[in-house]
Amino acid sequence: MAIPTLGYVHLLSFLFPAFVGIRNYAKMDRPMRLLTLLCIFAVVNIVVQFLLGRWGIRNHIVSDYYRVLEVSLLCGVFWLSVTQQRVRKVMVILAMLFVLAWFVDLVLSNGHQRLNNEMAMTSRMVLLVMSLTTLYAELRNERTSLAERSVFWVSTAVALYTAGTFLVLAFSNYLLVLGRTYFDVAWHINWALLIAANLMYTKGMMCKPQA
């Protein structure tokens, strides 16, 4: 199946935060350096999946492993960005529970034999809770303007794209029943949200480190 133009734009959007992160790495604080690492992995993930798909090779194995890496690294970004100990504990507990669930699912499902929508939805839900918890903590912290804080842009980006992806995954089968057109519209919306999220990551990386 040919990839629509928005699909290619979505693929290219992953390069922006990775490039800015690498360029500004020396001037960044620890959370943004960790995010840069995630963005580099994201580029590798999307490129490998794209190439495997083009070659007719199953690419869901790559996304399965990237999923646990994404949750772990974003947990680190949020943990390093917030100061409240209760919020930090929530991040660690959520990440540990997800990694445990991922490992158990890997063992019980006998590896990566199929596309694992259940774990994909679980990861989106975990990241959504993490991002909203971080946003709530930042809203209560009046040290500086929200727009000046990198964690605000990152947590908003994560909340935006995880909510969109979760809805697409949750209703994908129903949308296919309604017709391929509805399914394609949903994925276009999802791609648009991911483009916006990558631009927000880029904006966050350009913020001055908070003291």
pLDDT at 130: 96
Q: According to the model, what pLDDT value does residue 140 have? A: 82
Q: What are the boundaries of each domain within the chain?
A: 5-205
Which sign, positive or negative, has the C-alpha torsion 73, 76, 81, 82?
positive
Tokens standing for residue 207: 């913020």
The angle that helices 60-81 and 150-178 make with each other, rounded to 10 degrees, is: 150
* Predicted confidence pLDDT, tens digits, the chain (211 residues): 567 889 899 999 999 999 999 999 999 999 999 999 999 999 999 999 888 878 877 777 888 889 999 999 999 999 999 989 999 999 999 999 999 998 888 887 765 555 667 888 899 999 999 999 999 988 887 677 888 899 999 999 999 999 888 887 777 767 767 777 777 888 888 899 999 999 999 999 999 887 5
CB 36 within 8 A of CB 205: yes
Cα–Cα distance, 176 to 187 (Å, whole number): 12
C-alpha–C-alpha distance, residues 99 and 67, integer Å: 10
Query: Residue type for 39, please?
Result: C
209 C-beta neighbours (distance < 10 Å), count: 12
Torsion from C-alpha of 115, 13, 15, 199, nearest 10 degrees: -120
**Residue with structure tokens 């930090």?**
88
pLDDT at site 50:
85
Rounded to whole angstroms, the Cα distance separating 8 from 176 reads 22
Entry pTM: 0.91
Contact 187, 161 (CB under 8 A): no
pLDDT computed for residue 176 by the predictor: 67
Of 87, 128, 119, 116, which Cα lies nearest the Cα of 100? 119
Instruction: Report the amino acid identity of residue 177.
Output: V
Residue 115's pLDDT is 60
Q: 173: burial class by Cβ within 10 Å (0-12, 13-18, 19+)?
A: exposed
